[in-house]
Amino acid sequence: MNEAEFARVALPHLDAAYTLARWLLRDPVAAEDVVQDAMLRALTYFAGFRGTNARAWLLQIVRNTAYARMAQRRGVQEEPLDPDGKHEHLADPGGDPEAALQGAEVVSALHRALAALPAELRECVVLRELEEMSYRDIARVTGVPAGTVMSRLFRARQMLLRIGRDAGAKERTA
């Protein structure tokens, strides 16, 4: 197990790893914890790494570690899969639990909308729009076929568009 080699391959992707964990867990402390955990696991798997696309390889481990953590803590209110209920909550900028995502920073409506998507949809948007990964790499990270990535991305974007339209309509009538 070559730790220096692992550091050379994995550490350049630490920001990407943290970004994904942060968006999945929606909690900076848990995200840091999960990334540490994932790096530890990645180190143990490193012998089996075939040397292609370290970022997708590492993010896959981060993603699985984050999902295991979310399953452990159902209390974090993961996967309610109730988009309508969530949209109502989103349309109200007051009492914003997602503000914690960015500390004291002002969080945009779009940011909150993304944070409220189901995890399977949210991760596709994060990997595509923030990490600019290809469908193929997103498929690798999320463990589903590329066709599923495409349909999840499309559903996610439809939901974000609809939230934007709903918010706009609310503003106009207010």
- Write each residue from 110 to 149 as x if it is in contact with another protein (CB under 8 A), else as -, in one continuous string: xx--x---x------x--xxxx--xxx--xx--x------
User: How many Å apart are CA 132 and CA 110, to the nearest integer?
Assistant: 18
Please select the residue that binds another protein; options are 25, 55, 62, 65, rule is CB under 8 A.
65
**Alpha-carbon gap, residue 117 to 160, rounded angstroms:** 8
User: Measured from the CB atom, is 61 or 116 closer to another protein?
Assistant: 61
Q: Supply the minimum distance, in Å, between the C-beta of residue 52 and another protein.
A: 9
Q: How many other CB atoms sit within 10 Å of the CB of residue 168?
A: 11
CA distance 124 to 47: 28
Q: Shortest gap between Cβ of 104 and another protein (angstroms)?
A: 15
Determine contact, residues 141/127, Cβ cutoff 8 Å.
yes
- The yes or no reply on residue 15 touching another protein (CB under 8 A) is yes
Looking at the Cβ atoms of 84 and 94, the one nearer to another protein is: 84
Does 3 help bind another protein (rule: CB under 8 A)? yes
Q: What are phi and psi of 133, to 5 degrees?
A: -85, 155
